[in-house]
Structure 1
Amino acid sequence: MPKGPTKRRPQTTARLLEAAQETFAERGFHGSSIEVICERAGLTRGAFYSNFRAKEDLFFALFDLHAQRVVDRLAEAVDELDAADDPVRTVLARMGAVDETERRWYLLSTEFTLHAIRHPETARALADHDRRLREEITGLLARLFDRLGRRPTVDLDLLARLTGAVHEGSLAQSLVEPDQLAPEQLAVTFLPALLDTISEPATTTGS
């Protein structure tokens, strides 16, 4: 069991997470052992088990870090809507932006999702992390509609699921055929029309 907090724990955790991210990217989740991760971090197995219970916990810690980056990026895009010529496409393009870190995360998260599907307890944990991220995305969607002066006519949680599915499916196709499809192309092409279809002009209070 992980022990209580110490002054050195944040630094130890950061080193383990950095080493895990690099090792997972090189070897995949199943090909990465705790021993190799600890060796890369310059730490002992004891240091690992004082911070994490299992290798899966490393993935979920990385998941939360990635989720925060996604939320921060989208929140910044929503905040900049007033200065954008095409607000919806600006947000969708920001959502579809892919760099090497995003590419590596997609490979790792896809592999881990398959692992979770085969292990119900892990699937429940993954679903819980997904739910927390979706709650943040749902809040951003509500802000987006509000800034656009529109009111959604569908459940925002389902819309968050749909936009996530479009993003992940488009990214998979783009990574396979990078010269044929840009990561954000499907979302930017089709989702603006969908958002108009599933929303209506917001009425002004008192009108």
Structure 2
Amino acid sequence: MAERWTKERRTAHTRRILLDAAEEVFARKGLTGAALEEIADAAGFTRGAIYSQFGAKETLFLAVVDRQREQFLDGFAEVMMSFHRLSDVDIDELADRWRELSSGPDRAALGYELTLFLLRNPDARERVAAQRLETIRTLGEFISKNVARIGGTLTMEAETLARVVLAANDGITLDSHLDGQDLYRPYLQLVMSGIATAP
């Protein structure tokens, strides 16, 4: 017997398709260049579906970037969990995973667009401030717990390190593509230098 789709499941399905299409169009054209009609066409929905699910284009853009960041952090967390001691940490493996999760320069450029959008729009910055703080808090907690789990200790506050990692993420990806120099490994070496063996 076919499984019945509830209203919640249909809504979640529609949101996922719209976010997938929006991510692809925003990655190619940026926030300003992307038209809602193009996103709706790519998703196979009407523009009304976007308004119904997200409202304004900026809200859709914020949802795309938020989902992207969440997927990145989840993927990075997966490889971190495979290390059991500080001496197990394989920077090359971490760099490979970061490179794989970054999905190229177009998506990293969205992170810069988000930064510029928030700098230029204090109202939007205020709307997402709590969400940004929660991301930093969650990442800081993850770093703190996992550094302790593998027998390390941080030489700076976990939330400060979380802020630095989040701020550097897009820049490392973009600069690696611009100059043809892989910066993932050197950056991770720098981050790891902030972790010492626990006494």
- TM bucket, shorter chain: 0.7 to 0.9
User: Residue in 2 aligned with 1:171?
Assistant: 173
Q: TM-score, normalised by structure 1?
A: 0.79
Partner of 1:78: 80
Q: Which amino acid aligns with 1:187?
A: Y
Residue 135 and residue 91 in structure 1: after superposition, are their counterparts in 2 closer, same or farther (change >3 A)? farther
- Offset at residue 23 of structure 1 (A): 1.1
Equivalent residues of 1:20, 1:58 under 8 A apart: yes
- Identify the residue that residue 57 of structure 1 maps to in structure 2: 59
Percent of pairs with identical residues: 26
Equivalent residue number for residue 205 of structure 1: none
Deviation per CA, 1:60-86, whole angstroms, max 9, x where unpaired?
Answer: 222232222122222212211128864
User: Which residue of the other structure, out of 56, 67, 70, is the alignment partner of 1:68?
Assistant: 70
Question: How far 1:95 sits from its partner (Å)?
Answer: 6.0
2:115 alignment partner AA? T
The count of residues paired between Structure 1 and Structure 2 equals 193
Distance in 2 (alpha carbons) for counterparts of 1:53 and 1:47: 9
State the 1:7 CA deviation: 4.9
* Contact preservation (8 Å) 1:77, 1:90: no
Match of 1:44 in 2: 46
Alignment of 1:54-203 (within 5 A): 54-82=56-84, 86-87=88-89, 89=91, 92-93=94-95, 96-98=98-100, 101-178=103-180, 181-196=181-196, 201-202=198-199
Tell me the CA shift for residue 142 of structure 1. 1.1
Cα gap change, 1:189 to 1:156, in 2 (>3 Å): closer
Greater helix share, structure number: 2
For the aligned residue pairs, the C-alpha RMSD in angstroms reads 2.6
Answer whether contact 1:74 1:140 (CA < 8 A) is retained: no
Q: 1:7 to 1:169 in 2, by over 3 A?
A: closer
Distance 1:185 1:100, change over 3 A: closer
Residues of 2 paired with 1:188 and 1:6: CA distance?
Answer: 41
Letter in 2 for 1:173: D
Structure 1 residue runs of 5 or longer lacking an equivalent are: 203-207
C-alpha distance 152-36 of structure 1, shift in aligned 2 (>3 A):
same
The question of whether the paired residues in 2 share the 8 Å contact of 1:29 and 1:111 is answered with yes
